[in-house]
Amino acid sequence: MTIEKIRNDIHNNMGNVAVITHNEGRNKIQEYEGELIEVYRNIFIIMDNNSKRSFSYNDVLTDTTRVYFKIK
């Protein structure tokens, strides 16, 4: 998988609900769920309980962050 493919997959799901599992190291795993609201060249942003959270495509490529979508 390449960053370009990841970027395209995420861009194609704009407006859908994303479930994101983020590994913060030292056995700290956070899970976020929110609407994918913005996609930029290096990051994408979800709206999670009235707060914005940004994630990097690089983190998805290296499995630090995993993204799943709930299709409307």
34 with 60: CB under 8 angstroms?
no
**71 has pLDDT over 90:** no
pLDDT score of 72 more than 90: no
58 has a pLDDT exceeding 90: yes
Laid out side by side, the sheet with 51-56 consists of: 51-56, 43-48, 29-39, 17-23, 65-70
| Contact call for residues 49 and 35 (beta carbons, < 8 A) | no
Would you say the pTM of this structure is higher than 0.75?
Answer: yes
Q: What's the confidence (pLDDT) of residue 1?
A: 82
Separation between Cα atoms, residue 57 and residue 30, nearest integer Å: 17
* 28 class by beta-carbon count within 10 Å (0-12 exposed, 13-18 middle, 19+ buried): exposed
At 7-47, the pLDDT tens digits run: 999 999 999 999 999 998 889 999 999 999 999 999 999 99
